[in-house]
Chain A
């Protein structure tokens, strides 16, 4: 093989990016606390996360060609994120319920629906992402879009309330005592009247 040096350079660059992305996400998880390390380490984890982010070009201006190149490459190769699934602990799951108000005062409750189980898993992933959104208008917009498909099924509804919250599973001893899962509200939005085409992003 004559091209070995080229392969070696590509290998070094590719694995540097994998290591940096994985380390950044590890430090990010650790900096959130709730792990076996003392809380005094949090500042160090934050600093390390900053360093690895910087090495990945994420502290450069968005238009910087190097940042753009690294971002496009890591996303294309599927290596832009680390591998800390269900870590350090398994998070609570989320639930979205639509409360449909009919003109006669009747209330109906409905969960978002998809046809296949595979899309159902993607819906769960969407809930996780909505749960992570800290920018309120974006969360509202996402829930409004989900509410719109419910509206199509119930065009006579006067109001649709989207209630988004977390499902907390009781610990094993509490389950033994008969405690059931609990639902804690994160946010709720009232959508009325029916959103028009112009209110949705183009």
Chain B
């Protein structure tokens, strides 16, 4: 690699940026984790209990996890530690849920950001890995977001920590590096998602969209409506492949960034409304807005600028 290439690469990976993206990521991930906790509140014990009253004995999930590695964090560790302190499993599971919710609320406020981010990541990781039999895509994306948040240069200037403890603002180049990591990771996520879909015939003839929207429990849209929208299903399938596979090409240039970001966010809003995958859509929108939305320098429409000028006159 030539010296100039190396300089270009370093300049690309370490741009000086503001901490606005980090504020978006922190608040978005906090909201995501808090909503996950609240929506699972009534089923938490049922999902993670190792007693026979649980959905699937937690020990089974953890035994499967052991086949990969015994060093991956899991709720069993916390239950065992609680046992040493004389706490019952139900109490430890409740405390884990409560601590996760509190960590999310602290993150939302920006209070003890680093500690809260580490706690949220660790507890979420434990829950997801213990429940690996019933975890799904959303959990990986939440873990990715929490992992990047945990290692990011916290606190951002909007966090309570910054005003309470007069913390020095983060180095703009360090902020830029962490933003680039998130941006590049998002590009890979959509690229691989898009090209894997594009290899299936179903995404080109509308079958996959039809199956995705008509299979229980994602059948929110009536079948008669879907049938009447048949041409749109074909278009929808092609658009999904195009939006995802071409994401790394069109999300980076400033000219196409807004269009692509709006398209991808629109796709996720569509997934939420037509399939009921609200938490999945929320985490993807948060990651996209933090990664690329925060870098948009939007000017108000011409109409508003004229109106504002007239008012001043």
Query: Which of B134, B135, B188 is in CB contact (< 8 Å) with A18?
Result: B188
Number of residues in A with C-beta < 8 Å to the partner?
A: 77
Asked if A201 is an interface residue, CB under 8 A from chain B, the answer is yes
Asked if A182 is an interface residue, CB under 8 A from chain B, the answer is no
Asked if A176 is an interface residue, CB under 8 A from chain B, the answer is yes
Asked if B296 is an interface residue, CB under 8 A from chain A, the answer is no
B264 CB to closest chain A CB, in angstroms? 14
* Contact-residue bracket for chain B: 35 or more
Q: Are A125 and B46 in contact (CB under 8 A)?
A: no
Q: Are B210 and A172 in contact (CB under 8 A)?
A: yes
- Report A-chain residues with C-beta under 8 Å of the C-beta of B143: 76-78
- Report B-chain residues with C-beta under 8 Å of the C-beta of A146: 55-56
Interface-located stretch among A26-34, A46-54, A100-108, A155-163: A26-34
- Report A-chain residues with C-beta under 8 Å of the C-beta of B277: 121
Asked if B18 is an interface residue, CB under 8 A from chain A, the answer is no
- Report B-chain residues with C-beta under 8 Å of the C-beta of A82: 192, 196
B67, closest chain A residue (CB): A62
Query: Which of B43, B133, B171, B189 is in CB contact (< 8 Å) with A119?
Result: B43
- A122-B131 contact, Cβ under 8 Å, with A78-B143, A90-B202, A114-B43: yes
A112 CB to closest chain B CB, in angstroms? 8
Q: Are B68 and A122 in contact (CB under 8 A)?
A: no
Q: Are B279 and A118 in contact (CB under 8 A)?
A: yes
Asked if B102 is an interface residue, CB under 8 A from chain A, the answer is no
Inter-chain CA distance A93–B215, complex, in Å, is 7
- A202-B59 contact, Cβ under 8 Å, with A76-B147, A114-B46: yes
Asked if B294 is an interface residue, CB under 8 A from chain A, the answer is no
Query: Contact residues of B with A, CB < 8 Å?
Result: 10, 13-14, 36, 39-43, 46-47, 52-57, 59-60, 63, 68-69, 71-73, 125, 129, 131, 133-137, 139-144, 146-147, 171, 173-174, 177, 181, 184-185, 188-190, 192-193, 195-203, 206-208, 210-212, 214-217, 223, 227, 230, 233, 276-277, 279
Given contacts A84-B197, A88-B201, A146-B56, 20 further A-B contacts (CB under 8 A): A4-B10, A19-B188, A23-B192, A26-B192, A29-B196, A29-B199, A83-B188, A85-B137, A87-B199, A89-B200, A90-B212, A117-B39, A121-B276, A123-B55, A125-B135, A148-B53, A171-B207, A171-B210, A172-B233, A175-B223
| Closest 3 pairs (CB-CB, A-B) | A88-B200, A78-B143, A118-B39
